[in-house]
Amino acid sequence: MAPMENENGVSCRGYAVGHIASPYGDMLEFELFGEEQTWCLVMVPDFRGRGGPRLILRRRRLAGSGGHPSSIVMALRKYLSGGRIRDIGNTRHGAFFSVEMATLSGEAESGDVCCRFDRHGVSMVLPGGRWILGRDKTDSAGGPDSPELADRAESSGAEVGEEPRPDEKTLEAWFLECRAKILRNLDGRIKKQRALIANIERDLEEFARHEEVQRQGELLKSHLFKIRRGMAEIELEDWFSQTEDGVTPIVRLALDPVKDPSANCEAYFARAARYRRGLVSAARRLDEVRAALGPMEIERATCAGIACPDFKGLAGYAAGSGRGRESAGSGKAPASQKRALPWRSFVKKDVVILAGKNAASNAQLSLKIASGNDLWFHAKNWPGSHVILRRKHKSHVFTEDEIHTAAVIALYYSEAKRFGREEVMLTEAKHVKRIPGAPVGAVSAAASRSLLVTLDDEVVRSALASEEKNAP
């Protein structure tokens, strides 16, 4: 196998290993520094059994993130950073390179470190035969899976050169795998956020009983003479709930046997006060969490719509959905994700309104991003934005005000805006279909109805105030 060379025929032997990172997925990236040039060595993992991992050489680093380095990356940095390449190449079973180290990370040991990439992961053999990463430690470097340099003889003859291009099937499989991992991460975040919403809603139901608990405290206060220490419950006439025909229901109230009558009474009043405070804070928290859910769902839909093999478009989501992302409850998405949105986004209490910016954006919104039960709006017989009205949570029922706001936005971002009053088409997104052979963005909308909409300046101002300003 020939040594690794760049386009000018200069061997990569002797190049120093610099920064090591994992841009996205299971990919690894190594900076190589020569006397005059800097190169980037990328380990492309094997997906679906197509030939094993491969090393490629690029002029520039990939656009992925870095985030917090994994344990694998940290170990590679410890044992390889600063060393110089002795040999490098691709084999039938994967790829390898060896690095000459003057000293080994502060240890009194020197020699070569051999790094191997195969279907089982990453492994290294240190001087003295010690194994690390992805392999059980042994006393020698021998064995059937030995990453010794003798494996060079198994080379397929494929040289590592300037950006060799993987075959399309391998590239597609790798892209789909990376996107699937990111989507699973986003789905997990969305699931947690929805579970949090459900928990807060249950708390709100309980806190809404503050008036009932207050009345129960008043009943106990008026019947203190009936309460004895040691009682676990008591039955009292609830005159607060007396019916029109004079029937007074009996209510059973729980007591703390340890407490005296007055303390039991005060416990009810204290709980009622706690419920009143909790009602306000929980409602505020619910608004915050719902507001955070909307951008997450948009991120997920946008990521799912990235076409193969747009790795550059995927990189921002790999950065934001994995290491280094904002917390799920913060409501903040990484800047790289927000900048990637090709449409306008207006965030309301229970809904998100999306408006296309051009024909391509309209097509993506209507045909890829919108869910079946989202509402779709468009100015009738006029060019303009496709507008999507979507729920933040499934149980929400669209209000007339939300529908009106979305219709006004559709009119505002259309050529019918100058007339101030025009019809706007409305239908469920599942009825919107692409017209075969028509220009990008041209769609048909079955089962639609028309709304006569007047351009309302106040509604427009309110919508613009809620727009995510960092979206392009």
At residue 67, does pLDDT exceed 50?
yes
At residue 388, does pLDDT exceed 90?
yes
Cβ(83)–Cβ(17) below 8 Å? yes
The predicted-structure confidence for 277-307, as pLDDT tens digits, reads as follows 988 888 888 888 888 887 888 878 888 877 7
* Topology of domain 16-159, CATH: ibrinogen binding protein from staphylococcus aureus fold (2.30.310)
129: DSSP letter: S
* Number of alpha carbons in the 13 Å side-chain half-sphere of residue 351: 21
Q: In whole angstroms, give the CA distance from residue 181 to residue 204.
A: 35
Cβ(256)–Cβ(266) below 8 Å? no
Provide the pLDDT for residue 270. 92
User: In this structure, what token pair is assigned to residue 451?
Assistant: 């709304």
**CB contact set of 184 (below 8 Å; sequence gap of 6+):** none
**By three-state DSSP, how is residue 14 classified?**
coil
The predicted-structure confidence for 300-351, as pLDDT tens digits, reads as follows 888 887 777 676 666 656 544 433 334 334 444 444 444 446 788 888 888 8
The predicted-structure confidence for 105-132, as pLDDT tens digits, reads as follows 444 345 678 888 877 678 777 776 666 6
Distance of CA 117 to the CA centre of its chain: 29
Q: Structure pTM?
A: 0.41
Percent of the chain with pLDDT over 90: 17
Listed by start position, the domains of the chain span 16-159, 167-339, 341-472
**Confidence category of residue 51, pLDDT binned at 50, 70, 90:** low
| 378 closest CA partner among 399, 397, 352, 359 | 359
